Chain A
Amino acid sequence: MADFFEHTLHFPVWLAYLVAALIHCVLIIHVVAVGALIFIWMERKISGRIQDRLGPTRVGGAFGWLQTLADGIKLIAKEDITPGDADVMLFKIAPYVSFAASFCAYIALPFSDGWVAQHLNSAVFFVLAVLGLEVFGVILAGYASGSKWSLFGAMREAAQVVSYEVPLGMCVVVPVFVCGTMNLVTIGNMQSGLFTNWLIFNDPFTFAIFWVYFTCAVASVNRAPFDLAEAESELVAGFHTEYSGLRWSFFFMAEYGSMFLVSGLAAILFFGGWNGPFPIAEPLATTLVNVVTLGNAESWGGLSTYLANLMGCVNFLLKGFVGVTVMMWIRWTLPRLRIDQVMTTCLKYCVPLAAVCFLGAMFWQLNGMPTGNDLMGFQRGLQTEGWVETADREATAVTPAGSADLSADGESLVPVAADRSDGDHLSGLAENGGAG
């Protein structure tokens, strides 16, 4: 996009990048804010359904879908209270730190093939690292509130999130080394074709590690049964006890933002990202454009790719929503764990399980053992032939992924190069293993 401003509109370089960055930010902030709006409404409706009641029914029509907006307006209109004992500056910036962390992680999260604010070679790493910063805001909030309950909540969150980063990282590494790249766009594209290409079906260990990942993800975004930091029956409201109005709502937006983020990450790492279970998006889009343009699809250039990407985006959002829905379902069903039990779950179950799966998946990969695709007897999709043959992957997976944005970016060359070296290394290892 920066190139577009620089070359087509002849902006100075700094301005081109600034404008591009701003546009991306505005888009993503809307994804997070509107996403939170929808998720809060969903949470209300789902909890209502689970608990045998209706949930909101009035604001905005029969389904109460504007309820969250009305609440948002109420929160904005509320008095901004700062407790007398609070460390005012820290107290005021804490929600924004929390929100910014959750929001920044979206920068590297692709919504469809190439639809990402910033292509990063190390997207997986970036997302995890930035998401981990969210705890920083929470600790600030707990410390600065000048309330003992807030402090308890913050300390719990710190202990919990820091421990859960370990198994979470180990889980995320498995799909990364199966694919040989940390680039989320590439990982997503490598799973195109039939659903048997999804990494969760790659081998038994990736299947097992998905569940470990999901457990750790729920814990790291502080959802029940791991919502100790805001355990209302024990700590009143935990770290946000003293917050009100808009600042309080920023914590909520951060929470829901993170929820979708970890679900989206799961969708990309394990469930094929924007690729549906059957590879119909591309032909469907081409057919559609053909029909509409009376067979002149060729001359319409990127339109069918764009349409296919749009369908992929819907696919991705659906997968993310399923993850969030499951988190809500868990929340409204299970009681809360105690702090020592949360730690036990992490250190005694999640870490060893993740380690075993990590080693197992590595073993599987090195020996070139059959993937889900091989077992089911399906042919691999065209694009996934490059799973071992790196040169092919580069040609098939990245270029059509293409979208004008990516290929014009210039930066896309970097991930490809990185992929090649990684992939070569892996395939070399695989050959050795097979020979041995």
Chain B
Amino acid sequence: MPLELEDPRVIEFDVRTDEMLVNMGPQHPSTHGVLRLVLRTDGEVVSEVEPHIGYLHRCAEKIGENLTPRQWVPYTDRMDYLAGMNMNLGWSLCVEKLLDHQLSEKALHLRVIIAEMGRIASHLVGMGAYGLDLGSFSPFLYAFREREKILDLFEEACGARLTYSYITPGGCTADLPSGWLQRCADFLDQFEPIIQEYHALLTTNAIFIKRTAGIGVMSPEMAIQYGCTGPVLRGSGVDYDLRRDGEARYTEMYDGYAFEVISEQNGHYPKDHDYPAVPKDAVLGDCWHRFYVRMLEVVQSVDLVRQAIDRYSTASGDYGVPIKLTTKLPKGEAYLETEAPRGQMGFYLVSDGNAIPWRVRARSSSFCNLSVTADLCRGCLIADIPAVVGSLDVVMGEIDR
């Protein structure tokens, strides 16, 4: 009697070994804080990934309903603790929108400088930590070496190195110290050539490409459906950046700046002349592209800061005086999204006319970016999970708030 395969699944089922449930995190070196992933594995192959969140929940939003907007600024620092400046900026703009507060030209350029420097610092951590996820230790140290210099500059400006609370509703807490712009420009000159080192160690490294190219491929449609934003969205080739496409109150900061949205359009990235070429194994939307978008954004931010320094030194007005602590908020609501390093960071504020908001909510980019994990990791190997989760570059403080 000839053998017949009635149902191929039966064979597949036969070959299968026992499945194992493995708990990855919340204490695990590569889950970027306190993310917990429950893996269903068949040997090294992962059949299902379920992310669990909430281990870093600190009731930040509820606290915001008991404080005045300026008092809540330090809590935004602690959301995305790697990009505190950008969090401050999002919240400040939201409050200013409700107050309809207009900033001087100088204050706007100052914010561009600070926000873009924050983006560089944040992407440096993202890049270095991604190297760690893939087992390469040294890029992390190289990234931190440069980030330290940015933190030094921030420290000069506001006195803090991690939780800045520098940008506040109404402007900034202080003007830049004298000579700061020059030191910042010096840093950029020194930093720009170093990016090539990162490319040599990671972007163009053969093993790195092997580990990331074609892994965790996310189609543009899927990225949009899941609400992914930031480099995760642009890594899939969607041409969307709030600095260009956002609300007028936010995009006016970037009026007159020369910059392009970093995403692959028609097979190539903007300004690709001095960047390493895309390897042939890489598929649009894979881990390599998400990483690459971040690297290119660093270069772009360097460019933006340079422009902002030029314009700041000739701009008129003051750095922006913060609103008074007891400023009464007008009755109404405001929602504003900004392009934080990890994506679209939205703040929502409802006021009943008091100085203390009635409702405060935050829309986190990492939350949506993380939600694709289960889909991207299905059927991959255990070693690919750090590669995929790392390429999403999530910060748990922002997800759990």
Q: Give me the interface of A with B, judged by CB distance under 8 Å.
A: 47, 50-53, 148-149, 152, 155-156, 224-225, 227-228, 231-236, 332-341
Contact = CB atoms under 8 A, between A and B. Distances in A.
B190 interface: no
Contact of B133 (A149, A233, A332, A339): A233
A95 B28 CA distance: 24
17 contacts: A47-B137, A51-B137, A51-B142, A52-B142, A52-B145, A53-B141, A149-B22, A155-B43, A231-B135, A233-B29, A233-B30, A333-B136, A334-B205, A335-B131, A335-B211, A339-B383, A341-B211
B134 A336 contact: yes
A341 B210 contact: yes
A234 B20 contact: no
B29 A332 contact: no
B383 A333 contact: no
A259 to B, nearest CB: 17
Contacts of B207: 225, 334-337
B138 interface: yes
Contacts of B43: 155
Given A52-B142, A336-B136, 12 more contacts: A51-B142, A155-B43, A227-B135, A231-B383, A233-B132, A233-B133, A234-B382, A236-B29, A333-B136, A334-B205, A338-B384, A339-B381
Interface in B308-342: none
A334 B136 contact: yes
A336 B381 contact: no
Interface of B: 20, 22, 28-30, 43-44, 131-138, 141-142, 145, 201-202, 205, 207-208, 210-211, 381-386
A234 B201 contact: no
Given A152-B382, A332-B137, A338-B383, A236 B142 contact: no
A149 B207 CA distance: 24
A332 B381 contact: no
Contact of A225 (B135, B138, B201, B384): B135
Nearest to A48: B141
Contacts of A338: 210-211, 381, 383-384
A93 B145 CA distance: 43
A233 B391 CA distance: 14
Nearest to B20: A148
Contacts of A228: 383
Nearest to A231: B135
Contacts of B132: 233
A397 to B, nearest CB: 43
A334 B209 CA distance: 12
B379 to A, nearest CB: 13
B382 A233 contact: no
Contacts of A156: 44
Given A231-B383, A232-B29, A336 B135 contact: yes
Contacts of B137: 47, 51, 332
Contact of A234 (B205, B208, B383): B383
Nearest to A332: B138
A338 B383 CA distance: 6
Contacts of A51: 137-138, 141-142
A332 B139 CA distance: 9
8 pairs of A and B residues whose beta carbons are closest in the complex: A336-B135, A335-B136, A51-B141, A233-B30, A335-B134, A338-B383, A233-B386, A335-B207
A224 B138 CA distance: 13
Contacts of B386: 233-234
A146 B136 CA distance: 29
Contacts of A332: 137-138
A337 B211 contact: yes
A181 B28 CA distance: 50
A234 B29 CA distance: 8
Contact of B135 (A52, A155, A335, A339): A335
A30 B75 CA distance: 56
Given A152-B44, A231-B383, A338-B381, A333 B30 contact: no
